[in-house]
Chains A and B, each alone.
Chain A
Amino acid sequence: MNATSHAPPPVLRLMALSFDYGDGQLLAFPDCEVAAGQHCLLLGPSGCGKSTLLHLIAGLLRPVSGHVELAGQRVDALSGAALDRFRGRHVGLVFQRLHLLPALSVEDNLLLAQGLAGMPRDRARVSELLERLGVAQRAHARPDDLSFGQAQRVALARAVINSPPVILADEPTSNLDDDNTREVLSLLQTEASRSGASLIVATHDRRIRDAFDLRLELAA
C-alpha cells in the first residue's frame, strides 16, 4: 500500500480453493486476485457457490484445499478466537437480510461492531458515519422501527465502521427495484472507496454487472 510506483499488493488472493459440504460434491473456485481498493463482482446463478465463497473468504467456512489470503494473512490458517478477531477487524459483511440486532439501538449496533472487533468504542466515529449516511436522526431507534432503506444504510455503516480492507456483500440488491438497486450499489461503492476497502459483491443480479470492472463468473 505504500508502494506508489508499483502495482499495489493484492488485498485478496484465492488459490486452488475448493470446498465440500459433505455431500460428495466438490465445489472448486477459480483463482483470483483483488488489488487493494479494487471492487469485484462474483457472478453466477443460484447454488453455484457464491455465498460459500464469501464465507470461505470471511473464514466462516474452512476450505478442503487451497488457500485464502486476506490482507497478507492466510485466513484458512487461523482458527478459534484469533480467526474471529481477524474477521472482525478485516472483513465487513453486508447481508441480504440485514441482520441488525433487534434488541439494540442503531448506535449500539455500531458500537457493538467496534467492541466485538476489539476496536475502541468511538461514538464520534459512529455519529459521523450515521450523519454521512443520512440516518443520524435514527441513532437511538430500534432496527425494527427503521424503513428498509434506513436499515440498509445502518447495515452498511456497520460493515465499514472498523474500516476493514475488504467488504463482502451477499446479494445486496436482489430484492430491490431498479432505482433502489442503483442507490444501494452507489452507496456501497462510495463507502468502500472512501475507506479504501475492496468491495466484493456476490450476486445473480445481472443488472449491476456493468458497475464492476473486475468480475468473477462462477459456473453452476
Chain B
Amino acid sequence: MNLFRLSLAYLRAQPLTAGLNVVLLALGVATITVLLLVGRQLEDGLSRDARGIDLVLGAKGSPIQIILSSVYHLDVPTGNIPLASALRWEAHPLIAEAIPLALGDSYAGFRIVGTTHAYPQHFGAALASGRLWARSMETVLGATVAAERNLIPGRQFIGVHGLEGGTHAHDYAPYTVVGVLEPTGGVLDRLVLTSVESVWDIHEMDHDHDHDHDHDHDHDEGHAQHDDQQHDHDHDHDHDHDHDEGHAQHDHDPVADENADRQITAMLLRFRSPLAAVTLPRLINSGPDLTAAAPAYETARLLGFVGIGLATVRGFGILLIVTAGLGLFIALYTALKTRQWDLAVMRSLGASRAHVMSHVLLEGLILAAAGALLGLLLGHTIAELLGQTLRQAGEMGITGRVFYTEEAALFALMLLVGVLAALLPAWAAYRTDIARTLARTR
C-alpha cells in the first residue's frame, strides 16, 4: 500500500467527483491542444509553402488574395498579368529566380498549374516515378493527387474549367501523366503540374472546339483561358480590358510576337539581395498592371486576423482550466473535512505530517495528470478528425499525429494547477491535530 495507491484508492472511492474534475480539466486542455496543433501547423504550413518566395507578382488587386491564390492555392486569383510585364521583372538584376504560374483549370478538385521545372525544384520535390514534363499536355502529379486518383505515369485524365471543379470538361484534350512527385508535406502534394504552354494550348483548343457554343459569358473567375472573339457585349470596346478577371489567356489574333499578348496568373520571385525588398515592391506597384505581394508580410497580416479568433478560443480554454482547478480545490477541500479522522488515523499508524500532506497533494496531481493526458489525447483526436473531415484543414495538412514541446509544458502547467488546487487542503492535512480529531466524536 504505497502513497500512490492510497491516493488512487481515495479517488476511486469518489468516482463521480473525480471523474467530473478530470473531464473538466481534459476539456480545457483539449481546447488549448487543438489550438496549439492547428495554429502551429497552420503557421508551419504557411511558412513552408512560402519558403524562398520573396515576392509574388499578380494582377492588380488584394495582395492577400494574390498570396492565397498563387502561393497556397486556396483562393481564386485576382486576375491575369501580361507575360511580357512579368518577364520584364524576371530580367531585373535584383531577381535571382522567377517562376511563372498559369492557373485556371482543375482535375477532381486539384489545381492544374502551368509552370516551369523551377517550381518543383524550388521546393526540393523529387520524382517518385517517371520524369518531368517535356511537351505540352504532359503532367507531373503531386503525391496526394496520384494517390487519391490512383494515377501512375502513362495514364491520361481530363481537366475541367475552374478551380473548384467546374462543369465544362476539356474532354477532347486529355492530359498525360509522365511523372509523380515524392510527398513534400506541402501544397505541391495537391497540385497537378504542367507546362505553361499546356494551359495556353488547351484554351486555344477549347476556343476552337467551343467556337459555336455560347459558353464564354459564364467563365468563372480564375480561368486561364484565351480571349474569345465572341464577347458580343465587349466587342466594340478596348480589347485588352474586356477579359474576365483571372483568365490566363492568349489573344486569338495572329500577332507577330506571341509573348506580347500571352498572359499568366502570377510570377513567384526570389530576390538576389535583401535590398530588393526595399525598392522592388514600390517600383512594381507603381506600374499600371501589376501588384507585388510579399508572402511574409501578407501571411503575418493574415495570422493577425486569425489571431483574434485564436486568442478568444484560447481564453475560453484557460477559463475551462481555471474552473476545473477551482472544482478540484473544492472537491479536495470538502473531502478533507470528512477525512480528518482518516488522516488522524494514518498519523496514529505512523504516518508523518509530510506523509499525509503528500497524500493529499498526490491526489491533486493524479487528477491533474489524468485530466491533462485525457485532454492531450482528446486534442490530438479532434485535430486529426478536423484534418480528415474538413477539406480546408486537410489541404493545410492538419493532423493530430504530431507532438510539440509546448505540450510537455502544458502538461507541466496542469500538474502545477493540480498542486495549487491541492495546496490548501494539503496544508490543512499537515496541520491536522491528531489527538483532538481522534477525541472528537463526530
Contact = CB atoms under 8 A, between A and B. Distances in A.
Interface of A: 51-52, 55, 58, 60-61, 80-81, 84-85, 87-89, 91, 93, 95, 97, 99, 101-104, 108, 111-118, 121, 158
B9 A99 contact: no
Given A89-B350, A101-B345, 9 more contacts: A55-B439, A61-B435, A97-B442, A99-B345, A101-B342, A111-B1, A112-B1, A116-B355, A121-B1
Interface string B2-43: 100110011011000000000000000000000000000000
A88 B1 contact: no
B275 interface: no
Interface residues of B, number: 28
A201 B74 CA distance: 85
B302 interface: no
A117 B1 contact: no
Contact of A87 (B350, B353, B438): B350
Contacts of B9: 103-104, 108
Contact of A55 (B341, B342, B435): B435
Interface of B: 1-2, 5-6, 9-10, 12-13, 341-342, 344-355, 434-435, 438-439, 441-442
Contacts of B344: 99
15 contacts: A52-B439, A60-B347, A80-B352, A81-B352, A81-B355, A84-B355, A87-B350, A91-B348, A99-B341, A103-B13, A103-B342, A108-B5, A112-B6, A117-B349, A121-B1
Contact of A51 (B352, B354, B439): B439
A84 B350 contact: yes
Nearest to A90: B350
Contacts of B355: 81, 84, 116
Nearest to B441: A97
Highest count of chain A CB atoms <10 Å: which of B5, B342, B345, B441? B345
- Tell which of B1, B9, B341, B344 has the most Cβ of chain A within 10 Å: B1
Most buried by B among A84, A93, A99, A102: A84
Given A102-B13, A103-B12, A95 B352 contact: no
B351 A116 contact: yes
B13 A115 contact: no
B439 A116 contact: no
Contacts of B442: 97
A88 B435 contact: no
A141 B435 CA distance: 28
Contacts of B10: 103
A58 B439 CA distance: 13
A55 B6 contact: no
A117 B350 contact: yes
A102 B9 CA distance: 10
A60 to B, nearest CB: 4
Given A88-B350, A102-B342, A116-B346, A55 B1 contact: no
Contacts of A113: 349-350
B362 to A, nearest CB: 14
Nearest to A84: B352
Contacts of A61: 435
Q: Which secondary structure characterizes the binding site on chain A? A: helix
A161 to B, nearest CB: 10
A212 to B, nearest CB: 23
Given A103-B9, A116-B346, A84 B351 contact: yes
Contacts of A88: 349-351
Contacts of A118: 350
A58 B2 CA distance: 24
B439 A115 contact: no
A60 B2 contact: no
A115 B352 contact: no
A121 B2 CA distance: 10
B38 to A, nearest CB: 41
A95 B438 contact: yes
A118 B355 CA distance: 12
Nearest to A58: B348
A81 B354 CA distance: 8
Nearest to A56: B435
A60 B1 contact: no
B11 to A, nearest CB: 9
Nearest to B11: A103
B435 to A, nearest CB: 4
Contacts of B353: 80-81, 84
Contact of A85 (B6, B346, B350, B441): B350
Contacts of A114: 1
A60 B434 contact: yes
Contacts of B345: 95, 99, 101
A108 B438 contact: no
A117 B352 CA distance: 10
B334 to A, nearest CB: 15
B438 A85 contact: no
Contacts of A55: 435, 438-439
Contacts of A80: 352-353
Top 10 A-B pairs, shortest CB-CB distance: A88-B350, A81-B352, A103-B13, A112-B1, A117-B350, A60-B435, A116-B350, A111-B1, A55-B435, A116-B349
A170 to B, nearest CB: 8
B18 to A, nearest CB: 12
B1 A104 contact: yes
Nearest to B442: A97
| Residue in B1, B2, B346, B349 whose Cβ sees the most chain A Cβ within 10 Å | B349
B354 A60 contact: no
Contacts of A102: 13, 342
Nearest to A83: B352
A108 B9 CA distance: 10
Nearest to A161: B349
A169 to B, nearest CB: 13
B348 A93 contact: yes
